[in-house]
Amino acid sequence: MNRISYTLTLFAIVLILSGCTKEDAPIVLNEDYLQVADALQYCQGSCTETLLWEGNEILLKGHIPNIEDDSVMQDYYAGSRFYLSDIRNGMFLEVRVEGEKDAVFEILYTVSKQDMVFIRGTAESLIVNEGNECLKGLIIELVLSEDIKINL
Amino acid sequence: MIKKNICLLLFVLFTMPAFAQQEKYINVDIGLLQVHQDFFKLYDGVFDLGANYNRLLFSSFYAGVDFHLGYIHRKNTTGRTSIYKPGIIFNYHILVTQKFAVIPQARLGYAFLSLSNNEFNYREMQSGWNPGAEIRLLWKRDRPIEFYGFGRFDYIYLTKDEAFTKLNSYRHVYLTSFGLGIQIKSGKK
């Protein structure tokens, strides 16, 4: 009986400890195209510090939600932005088009919803207030139309 | 790697009954599933359904094989994930009164997560080791069928796949479920 209790207790401790070791090792943002969910999880932090990823080049891949809805695309164009989503778990982030807007949207109008879109942009921070806590989240700045590719 | 893990698990599953004595029982249960934080944080749990087969090893200590299916989804989307959880289980029956027993249980399995999103023709499989723990409150009766309520915790550590995620934190999956089940007994101690 005692041996069984010890075994079960030990098992529970191992289980809990294994769940606690979940720090993310540093990743290179502009080496491989990152999934949107990875980028959102990795690129966040406190407002009180300058984070390593801020202002760095980043490669991202994802799908564009509502790409086949004309009114949504008009809104995207008017706001000089679009969204990139991770269809695996629903997370998404904003991409701001800062440069060749017309050329970028020319490309976007050829995209269908099942196409994977690959972009090279700059990781910028966005201030997000959660209750009393001030956090930084991620948005992407896209300048050149050549930095957006479809189905690589 | 996955094949090796499955072979190891199957070996344990098939050799374990050889050490068992006579008394045996089957559990069938269903519970409400919840998924916690990290990669699946936008998902809602739906159900955790499954069964296990147990044999008395010695005293009040049982071992058995278990299979559960968990199902989670994202509301108003076609994003779905089914979680197949085969495993081996060890449990100990503690008689609290003549009518009730508490049964703590440990399990070790290998889980398969089938992610899909039909709207985008997306489908993929991820897998990983799946230790877990459970506690059951069994209502004992002098009949072959008894009833129980359970609380279950599953932890899944996904096998490294950089195409799926480069982050260690996304390889951890935490599931809990609470529900009801029936226990069907046969054989004698």
| pLDDT one-digit tens code per residue, A79-94 | 999 999 999 999 999 9
ipTM of the complex: 0.80
Q: How far is CA B136 from CA A14, A70, B29, B52, in A?
A: 21, 54, 11, 13
What pLDDT score was predicted for residue A20? 46
| A-B Cβ pairs (cutoff 8 Å, strict) | 81
What pLDDT score was predicted for residue A92? 95
A8 CB neighbours in chain B (<8 A) are 90, 92, 104, 106
Query: Quick check: B74 and A63 CB within 8 A?
Result: no
Residues in chain B: 189
What pLDDT score was predicted for residue B11? 59
List residues in chain A touching B: CB distance below 8 A.
1, 4, 7-8, 11-12, 14-15, 18-19, 22-25, 27, 32, 34-35, 37-38, 41-42, 63, 87-91, 113-114
pLDDT tens digits, residue range A98-147? 989 999 999 999 999 999 999 999 999 999 887 888 999 999 999 999 99
Cα B28 to chain center, whole Å? 11
Answer whether B154's CB lies under 8 Å from B111's CB.
yes
pLDDT tens series, chain B, 189 aa: 556 666 565 555 555 555 544 689 999 999 999 999 789 999 999 999 999 999 999 888 999 999 999 999 998 899 999 999 999 999 999 999 999 999 999 999 999 999 999 999 999 999 999 999 999 999 999 899 999 999 999 999 999 999 999 999 999 999 999 999 999 988 655
What pLDDT score was predicted for residue A136? 92
Cross-chain CB nearest to A41 (options B43, B74, B169): B169
The percent of residues in chain A predicted with pLDDT above 70, rounded, is: 85
B165 to chain A nearest CA, in Å? 6
Cross-chain CB nearest to A15 (options B40, B77, B131): B131
Angle, to 10 degrees, between the axis of helix A70-78 and the axis of helix A101-108? Answer: 160
Q: How far is CA B118 from CA A64, B77, B79, B114, B183, in A?
A: 16, 9, 7, 12, 37
pLDDT tens digits, residue range A19-43? 444 567 788 898 899 999 999 999 9
B186 to chain A nearest CA, in Å? 24
DSSP conformational letter for B162? T
- Look at residues B52, B47, B89 and name the one whose alpha carbon lies nearest to residue B70: B47
Rounded to whole angstroms, how far apart are CA atoms A93 and A63? 11
Cross-chain CB nearest to A12 (options B121, B133, B162): B133
What pLDDT score was predicted for residue A151? 87
Cross-chain CB nearest to B120 (options A1, A24, A114): A114
